A and B are shown apart, each in its own frame.
Chain A
Amino acid sequence: MSTRHVLLGLLAAGPCHGYDLKRQYDARFPQARPLAYGQVYTTLQRLVRDGLAAVDGTDSDGGPERTLYRSTAEGAHELDRWAGEITAPAPFVTNEIFAKVVVSILVAAVPVQPGQDGQKPDAAAHLRAQRAAHMERMRELTALKTAPGADLSTVLSADYALVHLDADVRWMTTTAARIDTLTAEVNGT
């Protein structure tokens, strides 16, 4: 799961302290491993280095936890690109898709800033497009395994991929149906 993009997403709502960013990350992605402070700061520094984020000031206490970071215009652009991108279908990509859905909802809740273009990420549409990509891959795998003369190992590996892709598809279908509830919860946190 791309940590830098998630942090960019968290910054979309407004400037944030480093400490706060870690806390929000852990709260929104309870299934993932808790983010180490070291990793947070390294990622933030790299974002600043790449011009996707900027330091907005430091509290009188000093120290990295108290540094205020914000997102830049390039950062917002990069975030949009990443959130709109369809993930290549393979087993165990749910974390990636989930991150994009959460981030999309977060960003969608933010009022439009002057200077940003009007396109808002639509989580439900993204899920549908992702599902279509998954189904295409599933069709390929099914044709592969039902071809006459397919050997056992092909069938077994195709079955494995199919079952996991099916699990993703099921999750995406349910999520798309729940998107309204999800939006309210994410914005309430």
Chain B
Amino acid sequence: MNARDEEPAPGAGALISARGLRKSYGKAEALRGASLDLHEGEILAVTGPSGSGKSTLLHCLSGITRPDDGVVTYGKESLGLLPEQRLGELRRSEFGVVFQFGQLIPELTALDNVALPLLLAGTRRGPAHREAGEWLERFGARGQAGVRPGEMSGGQSQRVALARALVTGPRAVFADEPTGALDSLAGEQVMTALVHTARETGTAVLLITHDAQTAAYADREVWLRDGAVHSASAGVLAREAVRHEG
């Protein structure tokens, strides 16, 4: 029995939908027919062992890379059909991205880093800096405004990265192991800030993590194994049992 035949059409109310994603790096197959729905305003955790393709899934869903096969739908548009120009604009204004580390520009101060998406969109410096300052305040990083990333602690720079991801009021935030390099208290601060803000603004969050305590901040969890997505609930048991008999 082919699991692919059972996949439903892109769900109504899903903000971002992926169907049948395939992606290989050389000979290594990272994704083998992964399908996923991210709904408006929900916080979804994707867990799985290392090397299961979680980061690749995030990259495909946010338009950072194009999958070899499969469709990613955002609203009515299919990401695969959009030019790089439009994908960049999407990342700037409607998507936010947070990585484990290394995403801030070391030459810019925290304030400039957070203001960067606004500056790229053409906003003047004054309003951009004001907006950025407010977001830094919200994440408790106001004191870091004039500091460069090299002089901040891991937790502080992750909060700055979060502020940057949220400054344009995106509809979805993609976080790839945001607490991976942090200890538990710093991680708790980052996750609490992310979840509270996301709920306030109704932003959907796709959270990649291999840590159960971080995944526990989400509303829902799916499990990525061998490049395919399984929902982490009793539902999958029935399917597995059926497959064994088939």
Contacts and interface: CB of A to CB of B under 8 A. Distances in A.
B198 interface: no
A138 interface: yes
Contacts of B188: 146
Interface in A3-49: none
Chain B interface extent, by class: 20 to 34
Interface residues on A, range: 20 to 34
A42 B101 CA distance: 60
Nearest to A142: B216
A85 to B, nearest CB: 13
Interface string A115-127: 0000000100100
Contact of A122 (B195, B215, B241): B241
B236 interface: yes
A141 interface: yes
A65 B189 CA distance: 60
Contacts of B233: 132
Contacts, number: 51
Contact of A125 (B195, B196, B212, B241): B241
Interface string A127-143: 01101101100110110
B49 A141 contact: no
A162 B49 CA distance: 20
A132 B232 contact: yes
B232 A128 contact: yes
A77 interface: no
A135 B237 contact: no
Contact of A142 (B217, B240, B241): B217
A138 B217 CA distance: 9
A135 B221 contact: yes
A162 B213 CA distance: 7
Contacts of B212: 134-135, 138, 165-166, 169-170
A27 to B, nearest CB: 30
B237 to A, nearest CB: 5
Contact of A129 (B195, B196, B237): B237
Interface of A: 122, 125, 128-129, 131-132, 134-135, 138-139, 141-142, 146, 162-163, 165-166, 169-170, 173, 177
Interface pairs A-B: 7 shortest CB-CB: A138-B216, A142-B216, A169-B212, A166-B212, A132-B232, A139-B216, A146-B192
Interface of B: 49, 188, 192, 195-196, 211-213, 215-219, 221, 223, 232-234, 236-237, 240-241, 244
Given A125-B237, A139-B217, A146-B217, 11 more contacts: A122-B240, A132-B221, A134-B212, A135-B232, A141-B216, A142-B213, A146-B196, A162-B213, A165-B212, A166-B211, A166-B212
28 contacts: A122-B240, A122-B241, A122-B244, A125-B237, A128-B223, A128-B232, A128-B236, A128-B237, A131-B232, A132-B233, A132-B234, A135-B215, A135-B221, A138-B213, A138-B215, A139-B216, A139-B218, A139-B219, A141-B216, A142-B217, A146-B188, A146-B195, A146-B217, A162-B216, A165-B212, A166-B211, A170-B212, A177-B49
